[in-house]
Structure 1
Amino acid sequence: MDKEAAMAEGHKPLKLLYIEDDQRAATEILAMAAERGDHLVWESEGATGLRRAGMEPFDVIILDRMLGDTDGISLLLRLRDSGVGTPVLMLSALGRSTDRAEGLDAGADDYLAKPYEAQELFARVKALRRRASGREHSAVLLYGAFECHVKSRTAFRQNKHLALSPREFELFRYFVENAGETVTREMLLRDVWNMDFDPQTNVVDVNIGRLRRKLEDGFATPALETIYGTGYRLLTGK
């Protein structure tokens, strides 16, 4: 699809950050982005990519898992720890389910194994932008004693701030969005980790355990109810 055709179909240009040390791969993606009318910023080193991500807003960050000066997992953790909440699509030659689970658990919003078609990459990028835009419809989500501040990515229980990691915040927001309903493990894998398969790891259980401790620490009543054999349900927290 060339730039004129993309505009005719109502394509809204994307502003993308691409962190990739392979110049050949970067050249291909840069060319396709230009054809589509997207603005793509390429950084060949993780350190400069990290700085750029913190300096200006992007719709999506495309991050290669294996970089010359660092590994993508470490860089992603640093991005999330620094407060960068931009959706991240991780690219990697490591395509096993455990590799995908590791990338998604580190804070990636999607994971694409190499080799891949450029058209699929941009389709996934557009889906990430749509999903991120759709989640900003309400600035504050309320349920019982819980508050979920979407734009500032902060959480409270009975007006007490809860120090959540980026992944814990995504889980918390999902529970608030589905307040009072039973949330299954499959729903969490699909909607929070963006997995359409079971990675056969305890990634969900581990993160639920961490979130539960932070939601309940210092309070007399539980926050999450385990529905054995089914999933979990957020309680009012009162």
Structure 2
Amino acid sequence: MNILIVEDDLDTAAFIEKGLLQHGELVKHVASAQEGILVASSTEFDVIIFDRLLPNMDGLDAVKVLRASGILTPIIILTALGDTVDRVDGLNAGADDYLVKPFDFSELYARLKALTRRKPISKVLLSLSLGDLVLERTSRKVIRAGRQIELNTKEYQILEFLMQTPGQLVTKTMLLEKVWGFSFDPKTSLVQTHVSRLRNKIDKPFDLELIKTVRGCGYIISDE
């Protein structure tokens, strides 16, 4: 395995790296979330180990940025925060697993192998589909129940991002980062307005609502 470690505690990083090298794995270590985002976005890894409590940027925010950028590499969060709500926050941010410190290396390594055994997700799909909704990436056509739907650029980008993770929560922050490139909240109804317009085209003319609001959190697209 080729593994990226994002950990600011050098003792913890050295402990993990030593164990992985003993198992013959390839290891890259960086000490900040920003550097982790940069390296993970430019190099192929089999799995990423991401500390949560990093200086200058929370590890969960960094994971959200990676997922919003289309990085699908399995990620395991390491943290001293072990409450259920912390675990849920980590998984909702886009992490695949969550391990509380202190931990045994044997458990960490077993979890890493389990993550890499999962069926890999194709990074580039020419089309995305959900129920009777189809998004053709090459032609940028959107069709529902055989009917072509005209979307503007932002509406298309929102729908494409939602359809990449059906059944999963997409937050307002994730949409601001992915669709508009904002690293801050402009405190406007920008996202809500565009999602509302998208719904009017995608959902309103049909019986089944696909785009659902999770009050105070964001949106989920699902045909259930």
* TM-score computed with the length of structure 1 as normaliser: 0.61
2:6 to 10, 19, 31: 19
Partner SS for 2:48: strand
Residue in 1 that maps onto 2:98? 111
Q: Is the 8 A contact 1:62 1:88 kept in 2?
A: yes
| 1:58 and 2:45 aligned | yes
Q: Is the 8 A contact 2:52 2:79 kept in 1?
A: yes
Show CA shifts across 1:133-180 (max 9, x none): 2x55x956756523489xx9x99653664625878733349xxxxxxx
Partner SS for 2:118: helix
Residue in 2 that maps onto 1:189? none
Query: Which letter does structure 1 place at the counterpart of 2:98?
Result: Y
Query: Which letter does structure 2 place at the counterpart of 1:163?
Result: I
Partner SS for 1:85: coil
Show CA shifts across 1:1-20 (max 9, x none): xxxxxxxxxxxxx1111100
1:29 to 16, 23, 34: 16
Greater than 6 Å deviation, 4+ residue runs: 165-168, 212-215
Residue in 1 that maps onto 2:63? 76
Residues 148, 218 of structure 1: alpha-carbon distance in 2 compared, 3 angstrom cutoff: closer
Residue in 2 that maps onto 1:234? 223
CA distance in 2, matches of 1:44, 1:225: 38
Residues 163, 46 of structure 1: alpha-carbon distance in 2 compared, 3 angstrom cutoff: same
Residue in 2 that maps onto 1:145? 132
1:175-186 correspondence to structure 2 within 5 Å: none
Q: Percent identity?
A: 32
Residues 27, 155 of structure 1: alpha-carbon distance in 2 compared, 3 angstrom cutoff: farther
CA distance in 1, matches of 2:17, 2:196: 44
Number of corresponding residues = 176
2:166 to 168, 171, 186: 171
| 1:218 and 2:189 aligned | no
- Indicate the RMSD between aligned Cα atoms, in angstroms: 3.7
Show CA shifts across 1:73-103 (max 9, x none): 1211222222222111111100111001111
Query: Which letter does structure 1 place at the counterpart of 2:79?
Result: S
Q: Is the 8 A contact 1:91 1:112 kept in 2?
A: yes
CA distance in 2, matches of 1:112, 1:166: 28
Q: Is the 8 A contact 2:167 2:222 kept in 1?
A: no
CA distance in 2, matches of 1:126, 1:112: 14
Moved more, 24-33 or 156-165: 156-165
Residue in 2 that maps onto 1:200? none
Residue in 1 that maps onto 2:114? 127
CA distance in 2, matches of 1:70, 1:53: 16
Residues 126, 146 of structure 1: alpha-carbon distance in 2 compared, 3 angstrom cutoff: farther
Q: Is the 8 A contact 1:50 1:79 kept in 2?
A: yes
Q: Which 5+ residue runs of structure 1 have no aligned equivalent?
A: 1-13, 174-211, 227-231
Query: Which letter does structure 1 place at the counterpart of 2:158?
Result: A
Q: Is the 8 A contact 1:155 1:163 kept in 2?
A: no
1:69, distance to aligned residue in structure 2 (A): 3.0
Partner SS for 1:18: strand
Q: Is the 8 A contact 1:62 1:91 kept in 2?
A: yes
* TM-score computed with the length of structure 2 as normaliser: 0.64
